[in-house]
Amino acid sequence: MKPNKTLITLGALVMAATFNLVTTGMAAAQQNRNCGPRELVVNRLAEGFGETRQSMGLGANDAVVEVFASEESGTWTITVTSPNGVTCLVASGQAFEELAEALPAKDNDA
Protein backbone atom coordinates (compact mmCIF):
# COMPACT_ATOMS: atom_id res chain seq x y z
CA MET A 1 0.00 0.00 0.00
CA LYS A 2 1.11 3.55 -0.61
CA PRO A 3 1.58 5.84 2.39
CA ASN A 4 -1.52 7.95 2.95
CA LYS A 5 -1.75 11.34 4.63
CA THR A 6 -4.89 10.25 6.42
CA LEU A 7 -2.98 8.18 8.92
CA ILE A 8 -4.43 10.65 11.38
CA THR A 9 -7.42 8.32 11.66
CA LEU A 10 -5.19 5.41 12.64
CA GLY A 11 -3.23 7.67 14.95
CA ALA A 12 -6.41 8.87 16.65
CA LEU A 13 -7.57 5.31 17.23
CA VAL A 14 -4.20 4.34 18.61
CA MET A 15 -4.08 7.40 20.83
CA ALA A 16 -7.54 6.68 22.20
CA ALA A 17 -6.71 3.05 22.82
CA THR A 18 -3.40 3.77 24.54
CA PHE A 19 -4.15 7.01 26.39
CA ASN A 20 -4.60 5.26 29.71
CA LEU A 21 -1.85 2.76 28.97
CA VAL A 22 0.79 5.42 28.48
CA THR A 23 1.55 5.98 32.13
CA THR A 24 0.64 2.57 33.54
CA GLY A 25 1.93 0.64 30.53
CA MET A 26 5.18 2.55 30.53
CA ALA A 27 5.77 1.82 34.21
CA ALA A 28 5.03 -1.87 33.69
CA ALA A 29 7.21 -2.02 30.58
CA GLN A 30 10.11 -0.42 32.44
CA GLN A 31 9.78 -3.03 35.18
CA ASN A 32 9.77 -5.80 32.55
CA ARG A 33 12.83 -4.34 30.80
CA ASN A 34 10.96 -3.64 27.53
CA CYS A 35 12.59 -0.22 27.36
CA GLY A 36 15.78 1.27 26.05
CA PRO A 37 17.29 4.28 24.30
CA ARG A 38 15.00 5.34 21.43
CA GLU A 39 17.65 4.89 18.74
CA LEU A 40 18.33 1.32 19.85
CA VAL A 41 14.63 0.40 19.98
CA VAL A 42 13.90 1.94 16.55
CA ASN A 43 16.90 0.17 15.01
CA ARG A 44 15.79 -3.20 16.41
CA LEU A 45 12.26 -2.72 15.06
CA ALA A 46 13.67 -1.85 11.64
CA GLU A 47 16.35 -4.54 11.44
CA GLY A 48 14.49 -7.32 13.24
CA PHE A 49 10.97 -6.82 11.90
CA GLY A 50 11.24 -4.40 8.96
CA GLU A 51 9.01 -1.93 10.82
CA THR A 52 9.03 1.79 10.14
CA ARG A 53 7.13 4.61 11.83
CA GLN A 54 3.58 4.89 10.50
CA SER A 55 2.08 7.49 12.86
CA MET A 56 2.82 9.41 16.03
CA GLY A 57 1.20 11.69 18.58
CA LEU A 58 1.70 13.33 21.94
CA GLY A 59 0.36 11.48 24.97
CA ALA A 60 0.10 12.14 28.67
CA ASN A 61 3.06 13.75 30.44
CA ASP A 62 4.60 14.82 27.09
CA ALA A 63 5.26 11.22 26.08
CA VAL A 64 5.52 10.52 22.35
CA VAL A 65 3.36 7.60 21.21
CA GLU A 66 4.39 6.00 17.91
CA VAL A 67 3.11 3.17 15.75
CA PHE A 68 5.70 1.20 13.80
CA ALA A 69 4.65 -1.40 11.24
CA SER A 70 5.82 -3.48 8.33
CA GLU A 71 3.49 -3.51 5.33
CA GLU A 72 5.40 -6.54 4.04
CA SER A 73 5.05 -8.81 7.09
CA GLY A 74 2.06 -7.12 8.75
CA THR A 75 3.75 -6.85 12.15
CA TRP A 76 3.18 -3.71 14.23
CA THR A 77 4.49 -2.21 17.47
CA ILE A 78 3.30 0.69 19.63
CA THR A 79 6.01 2.53 21.55
CA VAL A 80 5.99 5.31 24.13
CA THR A 81 9.00 7.58 24.52
CA SER A 82 9.31 9.65 27.68
CA PRO A 83 10.85 13.14 27.67
CA ASN A 84 14.11 11.64 28.98
CA GLY A 85 14.50 9.63 25.74
CA VAL A 86 13.62 6.18 27.10
CA THR A 87 11.41 4.24 24.69
CA CYS A 88 9.17 1.43 25.92
CA LEU A 89 7.27 -1.20 23.95
CA VAL A 90 3.58 -0.98 24.87
CA ALA A 91 1.93 -3.41 22.45
CA SER A 92 2.68 -5.43 19.34
CA GLY A 93 0.91 -7.77 16.99
CA GLN A 94 0.23 -8.88 13.45
CA ALA A 95 -2.10 -8.15 10.52
CA PHE A 96 -1.38 -4.40 10.33
CA GLU A 97 -3.50 -2.56 7.78
CA GLU A 98 -3.40 1.10 6.83
CA LEU A 99 -6.87 2.63 7.02
CA ALA A 100 -8.20 5.91 5.71
CA GLU A 101 -11.76 6.04 6.98
CA ALA A 102 -13.84 9.17 6.73
CA LEU A 103 -15.82 10.48 9.68
CA PRO A 104 -19.54 9.67 9.60
CA ALA A 105 -21.89 12.40 8.42
CA LYS A 106 -22.60 14.98 11.12
CA ASP A 107 -26.27 13.98 11.56
CA ASN A 108 -25.58 10.26 11.29
CA ASP A 109 -25.95 8.16 14.46
CA ALA A 110 -23.34 5.65 13.23
Whether residue 5 is predicted with pLDDT greater than 60 in this model: the reply is no
Q: What's the mean pLDDT when you consider all of the chain? A: 80
Mean pLDDT value across residues 104-110: 75
Among residues 33, 34, 53, the alpha carbon closest in space to that of 43 is found at 53
Among residues 9, 36, 23, 10, the alpha carbon closest in space to that of 63 is found at 23
Determine which of 23-37, 39-53, 75-89, 92-106 has the lowest per-residue pLDDT on average: 23-37
The continuous run of DSSP H or E covering 75 comes out as none
Q: What is the pLDDT of residue 110?
A: 58
CA dist 60 and 106 (Å) reads: 29
Q: What is the pLDDT of residue 27?
A: 53
Whether residue 44 is predicted with pLDDT greater than 90 in this model: the reply is yes
CA dist 18 and 79 (Å) reads: 10
